[in-house]
């Protein structure tokens, strides 16, 4: 571990960018949040042709301001981290890159600019900034419930997909191309639209037999929508009950802070932590 291998300003910058405990760190997070929201608003407004025609220049300048700031942030993140490669290849690292590159690409490729919309993925950082996870509350009971029932729900959804393929094929045979069921993939798509009770209506069975099968699919969907809901609520009740039994005097809200270790990038440090629980690196070098 190279605790002192970097000049002081790098440590300072790391503190600001990766941590939210210091006033500067909090300010950085708020500013970043505003710029992410602004950048998404820009992309949205630009996609509306009437607005784009009127304010094209303003939006274009806005785009470049956001892109340059995000680029600076991206470079700063790489410089201040001990293991830049790890950051670059991390989930957020790739998203951060994708939110700046398309703008530069638009010089060389005509269509490149459209990919600016990928910036929407940066919204995911909002979760980390706002520490939303903590509102999910009480020792992550909800997360536990979802985790506990994940395997079951997966198998369940898998069963839904198999049912959709079988019934979709059946509907293709029954309805045929003349009624909008052009091919089996489209039929399967329709079947999922129906099973999930979305029901766009762009394709709908026309023959009496097709409508009968559709009825069976819908009632099936009605019956099985109960299963994942039942699983989650039961798991949640269960973990809630366990908590009640252990009769803790509400030490439930563990304040996970938004710090990231400068050395190994691990997150989820407990509030007030001085050293990384993963690699032992000092979290507050100044």
Residue in 1, 27, 136, 270 binding a copy of itself, rule: CB under 8 A: 136
> Please, which residue, 8 or 233, has the CB nearer to a copy of itself?
233
Q: How far is the CB of 239 from a copy of itself (least distance, A)?
A: 9
> Please, which residue, 61 or 136, has the CB nearer to a copy of itself?
136
Q: Applying CB under 8 A, does 213 fall inside the site for a copy of itself?
A: no
Give the residue from 159, 95, 100 showing the smallest Cα distance to 127.
Answer: 95
> Please, which residue, 30 or 75, has the CB nearer to a copy of itself?
30
Give the residue from 190, 170, 169 showing the smallest Cα distance to 180.
Answer: 190
Q: How far is the CB of 100 from a copy of itself (least distance, A)?
A: 16
Give long-range contacts, CB 8 A cutoff, 24+ apart: 28-37. Answer: 29/129, 29/258, 32/73, 32/125, 32/129, 33/126, 33/129, 33/130, 35/66, 35/69, 35/70, 36/122, 36/123, 36/125, 36/126
Q: Applying CB under 8 A, does 60 fall inside the site for a copy of itself?
A: no
Whether the Cβ atoms of residue 236 and residue 243 lie closer than 8 Å to each other: no
Tell me which H or E stretch contains 3: none
- Give the contact letters, 10-39, x = binds to a copy of itself (CB under 8 A), - = no: ------------------------------
Q: How far is the CB of 173 from a copy of itself (least distance, A)?
A: 6
Q: Virtual CA dihedral for 27, 10, 122, 113, nearest 10 degrees?
A: 120
Give the residue from 266, 229, 234 showing the smallest Cα distance to 144.
Answer: 234
> Please, which residue, 65 or 114, has the CB nearer to a copy of itself?
114
- How many whole angstroms separate alpha carbon 240 and alpha carbon 136? 13
DSSP 180: T
Q: Applying CB under 8 A, does 67 fall inside the site for a copy of itself?
A: no
Choose one: 9-17, 77-85, 181-189, 264-272; the region binding a copy of itself (CB under 8 A). 181-189
**Cross-strand bridge partners of residue 125:** none
Choose one: 86-94, 218-226, 251-259, 260-268; the region binding a copy of itself (CB under 8 A). 218-226
Q: Applying CB under 8 A, does 178 fall inside the site for a copy of itself?
A: no
Residue in 115, 129, 267, 285 binding a copy of itself, rule: CB under 8 A: 115
Q: How many residues bind a copy of itself (CB under 8 A)?
A: 86
- C-alpha distances out from residue 67 to 74, 99, 141, 159, Å: 10, 8, 39, 44
Site for a copy of itself in 74-113 (CB under 8 A): none
Choose one: 9-17, 72-80, 177-185, 257-265; the region binding a copy of itself (CB under 8 A). 177-185
Residue in 81, 103, 232, 276 binding a copy of itself, rule: CB under 8 A: 232
Q: How far is the CB of 234 from a copy of itself (least distance, A)?
A: 4
Residue in 7, 23, 201, 272 binding a copy of itself, rule: CB under 8 A: 201
Tell me which H or E stretch contains 145: helix 141-175
């Amino acid at each position: 571990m190279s605790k002192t291998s970097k000049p002081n300003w790098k440590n300072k910058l790391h503190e600001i960018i990766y941590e939210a405990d210091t006033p500067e760190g909090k300010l950085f997070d708020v500013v970043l949040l505003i710029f992410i929201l602004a950048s998404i608003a820009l992309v949205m407004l630009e996609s509306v042709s009437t607005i784009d025609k009127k304010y094209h220049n303003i939006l274009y300048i806005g785009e470049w301001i956001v892109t340059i700031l995000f680029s600076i942030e991206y470079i700063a993140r790489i410089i201040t981290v001990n293991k830049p490669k790890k950051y670059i290849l991390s989930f957020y690292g790739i998203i951060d890159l994708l939110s700046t590159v398309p703008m530069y690409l638009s010089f060389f490729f005509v269509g490149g600019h459209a990919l600016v919309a990928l910036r929407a993925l940066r919204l995911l950082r909002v979760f980390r900034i706002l520490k939303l996870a903590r509102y999910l509350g009480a020792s992550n009971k909800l997360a536990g419930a979802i985790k506990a029932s994940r395997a079951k729900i997966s198998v369940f959804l898998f069963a839904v997909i198999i049912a959709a393929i079988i019934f979709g094929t059946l509907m293709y045979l029954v309805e045929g191309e003349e009624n909008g069921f052009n091919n089996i993939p489209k039929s399967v798509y329709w079947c999922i639209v129906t099973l999930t009770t979305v029901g766009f209506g762009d394709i709908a069975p026309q023959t009496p037999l097709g409508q009968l099968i559709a009825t069976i699919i819908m009632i099936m969907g009605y019956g099985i929508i109960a299963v994942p809901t039942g699983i989650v609520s039961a798991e949640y009740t269960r973990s809630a009950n366990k908590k009640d039994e252990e009769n803790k005097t509400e030490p439930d809200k563990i304040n996970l802070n938004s710090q990231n270790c400068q050395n190994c990038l691990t997150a989820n440090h407990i509030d007030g932590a001085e050293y990384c629980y993963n690699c032992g690196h000092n979290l507050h070098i100044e």
